[in-house]
Structure 1
Amino acid sequence: MSLGWARVSLTAYRWLGAAIYPFLGSYLAFRATKGKEEHSRRRERYGFASAERPDGPVVWAHAASVGETTAVIPLIEEVLKRGIYVVLTTGTVTSATVANERLGDRVIHQYVPLDLKPAVSRFLDYWKPDLALIAESEIWPMTILELGARRMPQVLVNGRLSDRSFASWRKRPHLAEALFENLSLVVAQSDEDAERFRALGARPVAVSGNLKVDTEPPPCDEAELQRLKKLIGNRGVWAAVSTHAGEEAIAADVHESLTPRHKALTIIVPRHPERADDIEDMLVGRGLAVARRSRGDAITPETQIYLGDTIGEMGLYLKLAGIAFVGRSLTSDGGQNPLEPAMLDCAILSGRNVQNFRDSYRSLLKNGGARLVNDGETLAKSVDFLLSNKRASEKMRNAAHKTVDELSGALPRTVRALEPYIKPLTVEAELYQEGDRKVRW
């Protein structure tokens, strides 16, 4: 396929989206019944605004889910310091909750419009963003094309391309080029990601490092932490966090293998808390005593599994544990972010399927802050070793924290890369603050 045909195909995609747009109501209604959409705010997904556009320059920042939202919050705060308004869109209910907890009314939160021409056009026509900042790997063709058609600068920040995504785009190089030529700038996480974006036609490309390293550690209610520690007493504690289907059963296997030597408490924090009922049924079916955080169940000496099925309390779970297995790495591909456990001085264990966080794990492994395991059996042996050997556990925890210090600095590098786009908006914002109210057409 030539570049010309790729552009024709993307044009066809635009109008196909417009054709199916009227039939998506039932799809969003179904998602709302599953808790994946806020019923009262579904119109935002069609591009209808639920807030007034302020006078002055506006930056649109988009972060799909919790991890991306957390990563871009410090960058958003840098934009806010300059007096520029920010409209933050997210794609999940949980990420909207995080945005509200961390930023409150300092930003205007909207759910991201569906990647269909009528929805995206309505969103852009209303908000008229002066700059779009898109986080990580959110490549939405219609959004990119509509921004390009309006000549609105769009920058991919904290950009990364997984092995799977890169391989998929490489099969369609002209299609990739026809999309990525609309990006004003890509600020990539690593040299490898930068080369991948260049290979797909993105220009220019800068490298910043991972913004997730420069975020604040997950918050923790210290009073609640001390209360739970008293309930746990001197029992050994380890956590399986950000788990996906199948990994909770592996965590239960590990717990049972530890029982002869340790009166351990196992904390399980599923990536998707809505799976908690099924997870509890599985654990109880195996004869394990479960306490659920969302119910306020007390931790007693008989409690074997503490099910962390709440949002926004990862800091609490990690500080209770000190040893963390990071999920989506044994039964699923890609891995989850190991930097939050590293920030909170955890010894990190993971399966080998960590392609999406390769650079972070490479640094952690080099410093001795993480270990990779092959299966549940080797995970059990590693947890047993760390619970039995406090000195080895402390050494891993210190190494993980050292790695975070070494990897920091992505935020100032990203801000410097964005300066040509942000500086004019800063000047415009200052003019508005001084009372020079200009009409925006």
Structure 2
Amino acid sequence: MMRALYSLILYLALPFILLRLRLRARKAPAYALRWRERFGFVPVLSSEKPVVWLHTVSVGEFLAALPLIRQLQQDEVQLVITTTTPTGSERVKAALGDSVYHVYAPYDLPDCLARFMRRVQPSLMLMMETELWPNTLAACHKRVVPAVLINGRLSARSARGYQKFSALTRPMLAQLTAAGIQHRDDADRFAALGLPTERIRVTGNIKFDIQLADALRQRAAQLKEEWTDHGKRLVWIAASTHTGEDEIILDAFSRLKNANTAAAQSLLLVLVPRHPERFNNVAELCEKRGFAIVRRSQGVTPAAADILVGDTMGELQLLFGASDIAFVGGSLVPNGGHNMLEPAAWQLPLNSGPHVFNFAESARLLQANNALVLAEDAAALAADTLQLIEAPALRLQRGEAALAVVENNRGALERTLQLIRQFIVKQKD
């Protein structure tokens, strides 16, 4: 009954969803394309191999899943990778090309899903982190397709939201075949919402299993030499920033520029907005504040610039590697933060805003190891960054501590693969 009501609400909301897509397309034209895929009108997939459908909503989830995807490609399976956002789609195409079947995920509506399932014929469905959709799970359950949550996480805040709709949440979770969960606290929250405990396995966070290729390290080292004028200035990257956050970062940067130290005054800020439709607005904001800027897309050395605006896609790992200190965004506004383990793998000292509830366990481990400082406002952020600028030993110490957290928590990728392969074997049999 609740799922029928949920579906009716979604159908009634469709005109507003499509209007929102049109509005987003004004800033990001890719949202105006490939609408048919979102309604399940996708090319028919013909494969003699078991079809494994993996949904990664956007860039962050896809990049986290990429090492797992490459491992699964070594198995005798046909991978179907779906995303929701154009930026996620671009990353799939850039990283995997035609080696996987890629389309947008269908809307969580019965007819869209039925159309998609008929054309793709998945034998196993994998969803990343928190991508739980009632009709999607019901469609898998109806067709006896195992549905497995991987790298699952559930903040206390999200759990309270799900609890308000327990009549919908409980039967949805009952249709999950298995769940690989990041941490025991997340697992307990899922169990409290109705996920049977015998289907839960605490596998850890696959983001700890990040690997930095030698070629990437070499490119980053070369870029850092250019940006720092062979070590004469430091680089502070503010990555994955959101609306309302850039102003706070620029306030902190102004404080640093006004500090009475040569290292602070020569600091280069690399400011990387989370969403490409904000690139121009953020660049204009920097200029209005009186800063000299260059854009990464211009491909020039920021010799005389105060700020380099990261307005390219798919380069964040490279930009981390060319930096000395990393701020991770989505945290000075109540967005929940972003993945801190990527800069940690580069041995960077970290700072962040206080809103890190989506990455609470990673933040806890990094703080406990004295690798991360949470700053409430521009003044606190500037003060911590100034400390790191002025104290090379502290910078090294916190960077080493960050890398140690990553190294000491590896292994989730292999545990997750073991969970997934149980169902692939069953499908082959």
1:256-335 residue pairs with structure 2 within 5 A?
Answer: 256-259=254-257, 260-261=260-261, 262=264, 263-300=266-303, 302-335=304-337
Question: How far did 1:21 drift?
Answer: 5.5
Residue identity matched to 2:225: K
CA gap of 1:369–1:272, structure 2 versus 1, over 3 A, is: same
Residue identity matched to 1:325: F
Helix, strand or coil: the match of 1:294? Answer: helix
CA distance in 2, matches of 1:172, 1:216: 39
2:416 corresponds to 1:414: yes
8 A contact 2:50–2:424 mirrored in 1: no
Mean Cα displacement is larger for which, 172-181 or 219-228?
219-228
CA distance in 2, matches of 1:45, 1:187: 27
Helix, strand or coil: the match of 1:239? Answer: strand
Question: How far did 1:27 drift?
Answer: 4.8
In percent, how many aligned pairs have the same letter?
36
Residue identity matched to 2:233: R
CA distance in 2, matches of 1:190, 1:79: 23
Partner of 1:363: 365
1:129-278 residue pairs with structure 2 within 5 A?
Answer: 129-203=122-196, 204-217=199-212, 220=216, 222-223=218-219, 225-227=221-223, 229-233=225-229, 234-259=232-257, 260-261=260-261, 262=264, 263-278=266-281
Helix, strand or coil: the match of 1:235? Answer: coil
Partner of 2:384: 382
CA gap of 1:253–1:120, structure 2 versus 1, over 3 A, is: same
Question: How far did 1:267 drift?
Answer: 0.9
How far does the alpha carbon of each residue in 1:306-339 deviate from its partner, in whole angstroms, 9 at most, with x for none? 1111111112221221200111111233111100
Question: How far did 1:223 drift?
Answer: 4.2
Helix, strand or coil: the match of 1:242? Answer: strand
8 A contact 1:51–1:108 mirrored in 2: no
Residue identity matched to 2:310: G
CA gap of 1:357–1:48, structure 2 versus 1, over 3 A, is: same
Residue identity matched to 2:366: L
How far does the alpha carbon of each residue in 1:6-29 deviate from its partner, in whole angstroms, 9 at most, with x for none? xx1212333554566688655544
8 A contact 2:147–2:178 mirrored in 1: yes
Structure 1: stretches of 5+ with no match in the other structure: 1-7, 429-441
CA distance in 1, matches of 2:424, 2:69: 12
CA distance in 2, matches of 1:372, 1:26: 38
Question: How far did 1:133 drift?
Answer: 0.2
User: Aligned match of 1:349 in 338, 348, 351?
Assistant: 351
CA gap of 1:23–1:401, structure 2 versus 1, over 3 A, is: closer
Q: Quote the RMSD (CA, aligned, Å).
A: 2.1
CA gap of 1:369–1:57, structure 2 versus 1, over 3 A, is: same
8 A contact 1:18–1:118 mirrored in 2: no
Question: How far did 1:221 drift?
Answer: 7.3
CA distance in 1, matches of 2:29, 2:201: 35
CA distance in 1, matches of 2:220, 2:82: 31
CA gap of 1:303–1:116, structure 2 versus 1, over 3 A, is: same
TM-score of the two chains, using structure 2 as the length reference: 0.92
CA gap of 1:286–1:32, structure 2 versus 1, over 3 A, is: closer
CA distance in 2, matches of 1:319, 1:403: 18
Mean Cα displacement is larger for which, 305-314 or 101-110?
101-110
8 A contact 1:188–1:207 mirrored in 2: yes
How far does the alpha carbon of each residue in 1:188-235 deviate from its partner, in whole angstroms, 9 at most, with x for none? 111011111111111211111111111334884734752552353111
CA distance in 1, matches of 2:227, 2:348: 21
Partner of 1:403: 405
Question: How far did 1:366 drift?
Answer: 1.5
CA distance in 1, matches of 2:420, 2:245: 40
Structure 2: stretches of 5+ with no match in the other structure: none
8 A contact 1:225–1:316 mirrored in 2: no
8 A contact 1:62–1:133 mirrored in 2: yes
Question: How far did 1:376 drift?
Answer: 1.0
8 A contact 1:63–1:88 mirrored in 2: yes
